[in-house]
Amino acid sequence: DGGITQSPKYLFRKEGQNVTLSCEQNLNHDAMYWYRQDPGQGLRLIYYSQIVNDFQKGDIAEGYSVSREKKESFPLTVTSAQKNPTAFYLCASRQQNSGNTIYFGEGSWLTVV
């Protein structure tokens, strides 16, 4: 089945450690996105990528980094510089010229203690 796979679903980390969340899609979509969802703040865009080897900062990129070495993969690293990393992280993808429908992964819960 085509879709987006995020892993891990739940992750606990100690403060000061970097952590990488995986996102893989087999939809052959050009665009991929990372959002975080916090109560009362909706989905806030962290980074997005329109093409391999290129990505753009979203609205809250500080403390995060990404890479897009392959079309199907867009991992997100939450660095120790992120002041409030505990959140629900959603990966998404879409094809610009194919109805613009966005597909979401199942999400990853990150808890930093």
Partner 1 sequence: AQSVSQHNHHVILSEAASLELGCNYSYGGTVNLFWYVQYPGQHLQLLLKYFSGDPLVKGIKGFEAEFIKSKFSFNLRKPSVQWSDTAEYFCAVTPGSNDYKLSFGAGTTVTVRA
Residues that bind partner 1 (CB under 8 A): 30-31, 33, 35, 40-45, 48, 50, 56, 58-59, 92, 94, 96, 99-102, 104, 106-107
Closest CA to 6 of 28, 24, 18, 19: 24
Query: Nearer to partner 1 by C-beta: 4 or 112?
Result: 4
Q: CB of 73 within 8 A of CB of 63?
A: no
Instruction: Identify which of residues 11 and 43 has a Cβ nearer to partner 1 in the complex.
Output: 43
Minimum CB distance to partner 1 smaller for 60 or for 80: 60
Tokens of 29: 């979509």
Q: Three-state SS for 70? A: strand
